[in-house]
Amino acid sequence: MSFFERKLKNRKQKFKQKASPKNSRSRRAEYTVKISKSKRELNLMKRRNITITNNSNNSQTEIYIPTLDELPKFVDGIKNSKDTDRIEECTQMIRRMLSIEGDPPIDEIIKTGVVPYFVEFLKDSNNIFLQFESAWILSNICTGSSEQTSYVVNLDVIPVFLQLLDSESLDVIEQSIWALGNISGDNLGFRDKILSFPNSFKKILDVYHNKNINQSILKNTTWTISSLCRGVPSPDYEKVKNAFKYFGYLCKETTTDLIVDACWGLSYLSSGNSNQIDDLIATECLPRLVELLGHPSPRVKIPVIRAVGNVVTGNYQQTQSALECGLLEKLQPLFTHKRDQIKKEACWVLSNITAGTTEQIQKVIQSGFIPIIYNLIAETKIYVIKKEAIWTLSNAVWGGSAQDVINLVGSGICKAFVPWLQRKKEHSILKISLEAYAKILSIGEKISENEGLESNVYAQELEKLGIFEYIENLSNHENSNIQNLVAYILNNHFYTFQNQVNKNESNSTNQDEDLNKDYEF
């Protein structure tokens, strides 16, 4: 048995020897008062940084924040004192040192060797206050660097925090949830380590079923669960998929923080295959997500766009489900949002819709999006926005009907792809631009055939814009797929068009000579 185990066993035995129902109730009440004061400090600390004051009853009381010079005496009190009150006081002082904003002395505290004591204090169910303060300390250490978080994790603290989710104290539960969220958020290995414990995710989800759960615990639980669902590669979906129903419910809340974390969770869980998108739709929260696109806070908009965007990456019916919720109407104002990230994400969503069926592309065109996208390309200086916008147009051209392409060309989109023909190193965007021109020229051939015209009407337009010259410059491109696409366009459309023009010019010259001869005759 280790030193810590012997010491804590002796302390537990002392508590048991003196315990009586009356004394136990009194002790729990005392801890509750102490915890309430500590939680008040937490709330104030978020507002007041280092100096904490209370102006109630027209008096001002500052909560004492220890200096680093005092750390040795607190460490000594924890390691060597046999007085419970002294141990509690020293633990709380160290917690206050770690609760300051800016640069808390995490390394200095770790170097004292006192942190393992806090892990042992977590296991002392007879002292809820000490559990609470220790959980808070360890949670704050886990907000530090990966090395600092690893130090705590290597003390085998994860199963202890999971066990504390069954505590009779909501405050201990909250701090344990908070700590698990900090650990999970540090790296994917820790995320998977938490999920590797039997029923660990279920235990965290079960916190939602606590009848006494308050808004603060609800928020921290949602944030932690969302953190456990995040990351690339994704966690084992079978382990985390049950969070869908909770996120689906919580996104219907009115509290911004809850909505944000729930929507991020939905976006993480739905970023996989078609079955995962179906699971999101099954929560019946899709209409709410579409509604939240109009939320005033960008913190809400971004995860909502991601979640809805995942839905429209799916199959026809999944995309249609989002459209039937009024997605296009809610999406349109986002293209003029002041935040560039929101514009970019909106373009990404729309590009996935224009990658859908002909009917869905027509819906986008009929909703007036093409001029919006075209103007966005012309006006924005943000490269990633332009790129997503070009994908939107290219998908619309490639997947649209002949009439759709005619309408798109009529709106002037041929010019939009020209700058991308000069980006020879960006193969994907160059390829989709060439594919768009190939589809446009193909439709031009059909128009010419149907109307009995001698040459491709769209080839004439591309020639006027100098586009064929840019395409010819790509004939020796390093990418074979692009080479083949360029050869197809030139051989099947441009050279045929040139030959027809040359033939027409030749016929025109011969006619002029005949006219002259006739005149001379």
- Residue by residue, DSSP assigns 285-338 as -HHHHHHHTT-S-HHHHHHHHHHHHHHHTS-HHHHHHHHTTTHHHHHGGGGG-S
What are 291's two structure tokens?
Answer: 């509604």
pLDDT band at 34 (very low <50, low <70, confident <90, very high): low
Q: pLDDT tens across 152-175, in order?
A: 999 999 999 999 999 999 999 999
Residue, of 24 and 40, whose pLDDT is higher? 40
Asked if residue 233 has a cis previous peptide bond (ω within 30° of 0), the answer is yes
Structure tokens at 508: 């025109």
| Residue 227 to residue 242: CA distance in whole angstroms | 14
> 305 pLDDT exceeds 90?
yes
The per-residue pLDDT for 496 is: 74
Could you write out the three-class secondary structure of 141-183?
A: HCCCCHHHHHHHHCCCCHHHHHHHCCCCCHHHHHHHHHHHHHH
β-pair partners for 53: 62
pLDDT in tens, 196-219: 999 999 999 999 999 999 999 999
CB 280 within 8 A of CB 319: no
Place of tokens 């003196």: 18
Q: Which is more confident, 439 or 501?
A: 439
Q: Which pLDDT score, from 0 to 100, does residue 453 have?
A: 87
- Top-confidence residue, 18 or 254: 254
Q: Is 107's pLDDT higher than 90? A: yes
Look up residue 242 and give its two tokens.
């049950």
CATH T-level topology, domain 1-198: Leucine-rich Repeat Variant (1.25.10)
CA gap 118, 179 in Å, rounded? 13
Q: Look up residue 122 and give its two tokens.
A: 């977590």
pLDDT, the chain, mean: 87
pTM of the model: 0.84
Q: Report the C-alpha gap between 416 and 418 in whole angstroms.
A: 6
- Summarised one tens digit per residue, pLDDT across range 177-187 is 999 999 999 99
Which of 98-102, 274-278, 298-302, 315-319 is predicted with the least confidence, judged by mean pLDDT? 98-102
pLDDT beyond 80 at 71: yes
Dist CA 300 CA 305 (whole Å): 9
User: How high is the pLDDT of residue 494?
Assistant: 87
- Tell me the per-residue pLDDT of 326-345, one tens digit each, with 9 for 90 and over: 999 999 999 999 999 999 99
pLDDT on residue 509: 39
Q: What is the mean pLDDT of residues 229-252?
A: 96
Residue 518 confidence class, pLDDT cut points 50, 70, 90: very low
The pLDDT of residue 153: 98
Residues 6 or more apart whose CB falls under 8 angstroms from that of 507 comprise none
pLDDT greater than 70 at residue 226: yes
